[in-house]
Chains A and B, each alone.
Chain A
Amino acid sequence: MSDRLSVFKTYKLYVGGKFPRSESGRVYEVTDSKGSWLANAPQSSRKDARDAVVAARKAFGGWAGATAYNRGQILYRVAEMLEGRKAQFVREVADAEGLSKSKAAEQVDATIDRWVWYAGWTDKIAQVVGGGNPVAGPFFNLSSPEPTGVVAVLAPQDSSFLGLVSVVAPVIATGNTAVVVASEKSPLPALSLGEVLATSDLPGGVVNVLSGRTAEIATPLAAHQDVNAIDLAGADDVLAKELEIAAADNLKRVLRPQPVDEVDWSADPGIDRMTGFLETKTVWHPTGSLGASGSSY
């Protein structure tokens, strides 16, 4: 029996719940750590970035308005789906990052566990960072966190899967929607994650994944007037500064990249990546007072 010829996968973008090619028709060559060809990935254009923002905006109301419990179940479902496709991701991460199979498996395990961690956060973060305020007057006063909106996420360049999920999951756990720019040299795990998200009950447009040249895609996102925030994890210092300047034009919330020597994606994530893309809304209402005369308006 002769060796069977394998079927290659055409890697495609994930935008608005669909899997389009780049509208530009461009692809670029993705290689493993030794330089061998792995696949041709879509090389997204400015137009792809804008389309992804439209999809993310369209999805925002529904996702932000979903119950926190529902968001938690969907994030947990992502972990379930990943668990079943672990072998594929171990292979992709090993190829992308030049890791042994066992090291890559550790990364994938940690990534799945990260989805579980954030699945549990969706209905707890509001109690941790919000609450009633004891104002000096007859008012009920409550502060609650709300998602910032559409967040552009530049995924880390080196950690193609654990790093990716470590920046995407906290953004969507709280009800934001995301336009994710995958690692430039290692985009395949991110593009495959799109396939997992599409089968995890995550509404289309909540996460949109673009591959290509980080600077080319990130520049229009940072300047986009309908993007509310940007996570610069995957930008180098020079690009990060340029993007932060562009982001000032509509006062995007900016999460700056961590200094290289402080990055450790396997560490306890804390809650900073959630709170960085949350707004605090404070609502006042008179309490009135029973049995007292006069109006408390």
Chain B
Amino acid sequence: MASVFEYAPAPESRAVVDIAPSYGLFIDGEFVEAAEGKVFKTVSPATEEVLAEIAQAGEADVDRAVKAAHKAFEKWSALPGAERAKYLFRIARIIQERSRELAVLETLDNGKPIKETRDADLPLVAAHFFYYAGWADKLDHAGYGANPRPLGVAGQVIPWNFPLLMLAWKIAPALATGNTVVLKPAETTPLSALFFADICRQAGLPKGVVNILPGYGDAGAAVVAHPDVNKVAFTGSTAVGKEIARTVAGTRKKVTLELGGKGANIVFDDAPIDQAVEGIVNGIFFNQGQVCCAGSRLLVQESIQDELLDSLKRRLSTLRLGDPLDKNTDIGAINSEEQLTRITSLVEQGEAEGAERWSPACELPESGYWFAPTLFTNVTQAHTVARDEIFGPVLSVLTFRTPDEAVAKANNTPYGLSAGIWTEKGSRILAVANKLRAGVVWSNTFNKFDPTSPFGGYKESGFGREGGRHGLEAYLDV
């Protein structure tokens, strides 16, 4: 479809961020080289340009960081809550001040559109620190008994889809409750965590309270297995989550896991179609679908299937894919070559199994990792694309006739993270929401997040909650 209006490029300036050629590990308040001297490169997934060379943490570095965190724990946990709160408020404010810089940085390292980092990731990051800052001196009133104690050293391993936001979800409640932290960012998106280390310096955070160890899965496994780590928090794949659950078996480590999903977005025949289409698009194409709570299965009531799909396809044809730094871009780059390969192979499998594939006319840039928004119709519950988490901009469309069938299909997955309901009938929303085995249910909306709102899964989507009063429990000895 030829566009009536052409868009002029509207790139956000890169000048606001200064990326150094190389970065060390952040241990005990200092940037240091890795013990084994290893480094890796982080690239911009939109261009494959090398952004920086990063020290790669190994087992010895993990040990060193855990020791630093362990040492810092005594003083940090003994600080009056009001003082810990002020450090966190400082961090929240510095993030707000530097939010444009961090948004551009995140877009460069992750490949997601600047529209999202600027309007979703960064505001939520600052809000999360601001929220948990306020809890630090009110823990007696949080419902976990008087004077609840921190656990000690929290080992935290986070993914690449929301690098700084996942850091915030992990670090803010950990510090508010008096724990110290060893955090391993994902190997494809280490930069914002390293910039966060600089924010800790600016905030005057005591040494060793936050330690950042860029590295690969082996470093993450070493963090999880370290005997002096008292708490493990992980966001990532269900396969790794299960491995972590095995590793900590028989120990006293407290664990929270925020894992994969295959969220159902259920559209009933009385739903407001235009709003539902926006919600569906937001549900699966936000962050290129690389979202654990994505609405990757569209369950549409049979009677409105044609109308809804026509409308959805028309809307998808207007999405703009390209330079993530362009302020008009809707769909950015896939985070890595590895992820692109995975998406590609699952989509090919979907076609091979007989599902019908559709994408809007969409020109992909020549360099970088890109995947066009994709719809599958004629999908059955047995199809791989209806069962496996694709973690990409790929929506599988299934149909249903009755609310009971919708619920049965929505729940027919080992996952249980999110779901969506679209209908104008209030009692139906409540009845369906009640039956869905999912930790977050969005009705007549999708992909909304807030620091006060607990987030986390049922079944194999993991356990424990992040956000809200509930999120404190993961970091307290209760």
Partner of A141, one of B143, B249, B450: B450
User: In the assembled complex, which residues on chain A have CB atoms less than 8 Å from the CB atom of B460?
Assistant: 250-251
Within 8 A of B (CB), among A226-284: 228, 237, 240-241, 244-245, 247-251, 253-254, 256, 272, 279-284
What's the Cα separation between A127 and B259 when bound, in Å?
Answer: 28
Whether the pair B275, A241 counts as a contact (CB closer than 8 A) is no
What's the Cα separation between A150 and B470 when bound, in Å?
Answer: 23
What's the Cα separation between A163 and B302 when bound, in Å?
Answer: 52
What's the Cα separation between A45 and B410 when bound, in Å?
Answer: 34
Kindly supply a per-residue 1/0 record for chain A positions 126-149, scoring 1 wherever the CB is within 8 Å of any chain B CB and 0 otherwise: 001100011111010101000010
Whether the pair A137, B450 counts as a contact (CB closer than 8 A) is yes
Contact of B44 with A by CB under 8 A: no
What's the Cα separation between A157 and B284 when bound, in Å?
Answer: 50
Binds A, one of B2-10, B67-75, B327-335, B439-447: B439-447
Within 8 A of B (CB), among A184-239: 228, 237
**Taking CB as reference atom, which chain A residue is nearest B252?**
A256
What's the Cα separation between A285 and B257 when bound, in Å?
Answer: 26
Kindly supply a per-residue 1/0 record for chain B positions 443-478, scoring 1 wherever the CB is within 8 Å of any chain A CB and 0 otherwise: 111001010111110111011010010100000001
What's the nearest-Cβ distance from chain B to residue A99, in Å? 32
Binds A, one of B96-104, B154-162, B240-248, B261-269: B240-248
Contact of B39 with A by CB under 8 A: no
Interface residues on B, range: 35 or more
Partner of A297, one of B241, B252, B440, B445: B445
Contact of A295 with B by CB under 8 A: yes
What's the nearest-Cβ distance from chain A to residue B187, in Å? 24
Whether the pair A283, B433 counts as a contact (CB closer than 8 A) is yes
Contact of A98 with B by CB under 8 A: no
Partner of B414, one of A137, A244, A248, A250: A250
Whether the pair A133, B454 counts as a contact (CB closer than 8 A) is yes
Partner of A251, one of B252, B433, B459: B459
Contact of B238 with A by CB under 8 A: yes
User: In the assembled complex, which residues on chain B have CB atoms less than 8 Å from the CB atom of A283?
Assistant: 433, 440-443
Whether the pair B245, A248 counts as a contact (CB closer than 8 A) is yes
User: In the assembled complex, which residues on chain A have CB atoms less than 8 Å from the CB atom of B452?
Assistant: 133-136, 141
State the total of A-B contacts with C-beta under 8 angstroms.
Answer: 109
Contact of B250 with A by CB under 8 A: yes
User: In the assembled complex, which residues on chain A have CB atoms less than 8 Å from the CB atom of B252?
Assistant: 256
User: A248 and B242 in contact (CB under 8 A), knowing A143-B453, A285-B429, A285-B443?
Assistant: yes
User: In the assembled complex, which residues on chain B have CB atoms less than 8 Å from the CB atom of A285?
Assistant: 429, 443-445
User: In the assembled complex, which residues on chain A have CB atoms less than 8 Å from the CB atom of B438?
Assistant: 281
Kindly supply a per-residue 1/0 record for chain B positions 114-132, scoring 1 wherever the CB is within 8 Å of any chain A CB and 0 otherwise: 0000000000000100000
User: In the assembled complex, which residues on chain B have CB atoms less than 8 Å from the CB atom of A253?
Assistant: 463
Contact of A62 with B by CB under 8 A: no
Partner of A135, one of B272, B453, B463, B478: B453
User: In the assembled complex, which residues on chain B have CB atoms less than 8 Å from the CB atom of A136?
Assistant: 127, 450, 452
What's the nearest-Cβ distance from chain A to residue B409, in Å? 17
Whether the pair B241, A251 counts as a contact (CB closer than 8 A) is yes
Whether the pair B456, A240 counts as a contact (CB closer than 8 A) is no
Whether the pair B250, A240 counts as a contact (CB closer than 8 A) is yes
Whether the pair B450, A297 counts as a contact (CB closer than 8 A) is no
What's the Cα separation between A247 and B248 when bound, in Å?
Answer: 12
**Taking CB as reference atom, which chain B residue is nearest A141?**
B453
Whether the pair B462, A279 counts as a contact (CB closer than 8 A) is no
**Taking CB as reference atom, which chain A residue is nearest B452?**
A133
What's the nearest-Cβ distance from chain B to residue A269, in Å? 13
Whether the pair B459, A143 counts as a contact (CB closer than 8 A) is no
Whether the pair A251, B448 counts as a contact (CB closer than 8 A) is no
Whether the pair B463, A297 counts as a contact (CB closer than 8 A) is no
Whether the pair A133, B453 counts as a contact (CB closer than 8 A) is yes
Within 8 A of A (CB), among B250-303: 250, 252, 257, 259, 272, 275, 278-279
**Taking CB as reference atom, which chain A residue is nearest B460?**
A251
Contact of A20 with B by CB under 8 A: no
User: In the assembled complex, which residues on chain A have CB atoms less than 8 Å from the CB atom of B458?
Assistant: 148, 279, 281
What's the Cα separation between A136 and B131 when bound, in Å?
Answer: 11
Partner of B242, one of A128, A141, A249, A286: A249
Whether the pair B450, A228 counts as a contact (CB closer than 8 A) is no
26 contacts between A and B (CB under 8 A): A133-B450, A133-B452, A139-B445, A143-B453, A237-B250, A241-B249, A244-B249, A247-B245, A251-B238, A251-B245, A251-B257, A251-B459, A254-B245, A281-B436, A281-B438, A281-B441, A282-B440, A282-B441, A282-B453, A282-B454, A283-B442, A284-B442, A284-B448, A284-B453, A285-B429, A297-B444
Q: A148-B458, A297-B272 are in contact. List 17 more A-B contacts (CB 8 A).
A: A128-B143, A133-B453, A136-B127, A137-B450, A141-B452, A244-B250, A248-B242, A251-B242, A251-B463, A254-B245, A279-B439, A279-B458, A281-B440, A282-B453, A284-B441, A286-B445, A295-B275
Residues of A within 8 A of B (CB): 128-129, 133-137, 139, 141, 143, 148, 228, 237, 240-241, 244-245, 247-251, 253-254, 256, 272, 279-286, 295, 297
